[in-house]
Amino acid sequence: MLTFADPEIIKLASEKFVPVALDDWYQRRRKDAEGAFFRKVSDQGPRKSSGENGTRQGIYVFTASGKLLAFRNHQDPDVMRTVFRQALTAWNKLPSSEKDPGAVKIPDPAKVDSGFERKLPKDAVILNVFTRILDKDAKGDYSHGTCEFTGGDRAAHDRLWLTADEWKGLIPKNPKVGDQVSVPERVAMRIARFHLIDNTRGEPPHWEINQVRKAKLAVEVTRVTEQKIELKIVGDFLLATSADAKKVDRGFDLNLLGTIIVDRAKQRIERFDMVGLGDHWGAGPYTRQARPGRMPLGVAFELSPGDTPSDQVPPQGARSLQLYLRAER
């Protein structure tokens, strides 16, 4: 079980700490008060010499003033329980001037580094994306996958953003069964490059444009009533690091199938389910220990309510939001 899936650690973190999740890649680069505070904290740990281009990834326990109490980058709950308890011991030893309510004055945030703002586009649709390794049983049916990497058999979670123009473009004005709906190339390429990936063991490399060998996405009207429009979405994708089959060290060959249901009165999508299934092979620099050969990998897309802060966490591939939204370039 991973650190933050452990019930005891969840309880400890919720009751004794203020949990905050940040993207190290952003925090170590941003030129504003938030970035400076992160670097102040991380400079007290073992990764202070890594600079902008080296990772400072880890679990930091620190005070409101920026004093580091404990650090560790580990997935084992047993290890991290010890780290959290050490941090609490260090906290209890601090003078009242550092830990009493109101002892540390936090100024209003100064101007934010605009290069590191990733806001959800107005009226965008959010799809939760789940990726999981699979196996085949004796009958040839798909089943939960197993692997030697700790936690690699769990589902990875990301989000796909569709802008208002993109999802509204999927709703035909005068729909008839059999009508074909045009899907923008940028949508197919965004899905291909940033969401058809094996992120079950860490942070994966995303696909470059020249590694997308096939990215076909088609939408067809399958049912029309006074209240609803139902559409079928079908995809055919091939991602590979080389066009030469003998030189490919990483790839994903899969098909997608899904359903979109539109509320005609509200002119909005009320359901968007899509599943991808195919064979994935190879690993990236930070996703080592992939299973050998071509192995089944499943990807599921599901409409998100979008009404909580966690729903609006940016896609992992959106470190450059413009690149993410214009993935066909």
Q: What tens-digit pLDDT sequence spans the chain (329 residues)?
A: 478 888 999 999 999 999 998 888 889 999 999 999 999 999 999 988 766 778 899 999 999 999 999 999 988 889 999 999 999 999 999 999 888 888 888 888 788 888 888 889 999 999 999 999 999 999 999 999 999 998 899 999 999 999 999 999 999 989 999 999 989 999 999 999 999 999 999 889 999 999 999 999 999 999 999 999 999 999 999 999 999 988 999 999 999 999 999 999 999 999 999 999 999 999 999 899 999 999 999 999 999 998 888 888 999 999 889 999 999 98
User: Which residues, 6+ apart, have CB-to-CB distance to 172 below 8 Å?
Assistant: 179, 181, 221, 229
Kindly state whether residues 143 and 197 are assigned to the same domain. yes
- Token readout for 213 is 């060998």
Kindly state whether residues 215 and 273 are assigned to the same domain. yes
The vertex-148 CA angle with 240 and 315, nearest 5°, equals 50
Kindly state whether residues 230 and 270 are assigned to the same domain. yes
State residue 129's pLDDT score. Answer: 98
- Using DSSP, state whether 158 is helix, strand or coil: strand
Kindly state whether residues 91 and 129 are assigned to the same domain. no
CA 84/CA 76 separation, integer angstroms: 12
State residue 113's pLDDT score. Answer: 87
- Token readout for 52 is 């902008």
Residue ending a domain, among 66, 84, 116, is 116
Kindly state whether residues 179 and 313 are assigned to the same domain. yes
CA 281/CA 284 separation, integer angstroms: 10
Contact between 319 and 25 under an 8 Å Cβ cutoff? The reply is yes
Kindly state whether residues 279 and 317 are assigned to the same domain. yes
Cross-strand bridge partners of residue 239: 212, 252
| Number of structural domains in the chain | 2
Residue ending a domain, among 72, 98, 116, is 116
Kindly state whether residues 156 and 298 are assigned to the same domain. yes
How far is residue 216 from each of residues 51, 185, 236, 274, 312, measured CA to CA in Å? 41, 9, 5, 14, 27
The vertex-277 CA angle with 272 and 279, nearest 5°, equals 155
Kindly state whether residues 7 and 88 are assigned to the same domain. yes
State residue 17's pLDDT score. Answer: 94
State residue 310's pLDDT score. Answer: 82
The strand ranges marked E within the chain are 59-62, 68-72, 125-136, 142-144, 156-162, 180-181, 212-224, 228-240, 251-263, 268-281, 295-303
Range of the domain at 292: 125-325
Helix axes 77-92, 7-16, angle to 10 degrees: 20
State residue 210's pLDDT score. Answer: 96
Kindly state whether residues 147 and 239 are assigned to the same domain. yes
| Number of other residues whose CB lies within 10 A of the CB of residue 138 | 6
**Nearest Cα to 320, choosing from 27, 117, 159?**
117
Contact between 128 and 301 under an 8 Å Cβ cutoff? The reply is yes
User: What are the two backbone dihedrals, phi and then psi, of residue 216, each rounded to the nearest 5 degrees?
Assistant: -105, 130
State residue 3's pLDDT score. Answer: 82
Kindly state whether residues 108 and 147 are assigned to the same domain. no
Cross-strand bridge partners of residue 280: 252, 295
Kindly state whether residues 57 and 178 are assigned to the same domain. no
Residue ending a domain, among 66, 90, 116, is 116
Cross-strand bridge partners of residue 298: 132, 277
Kindly state whether residues 92 and 204 are assigned to the same domain. no
State residue 25's pLDDT score. Answer: 87
State residue 69's pLDDT score. Answer: 97
State residue 45's pLDDT score. Answer: 93
- Token readout for 99 is 């830990």
**Nearest Cα to 282, choosing from 295, 299, 263?**
295
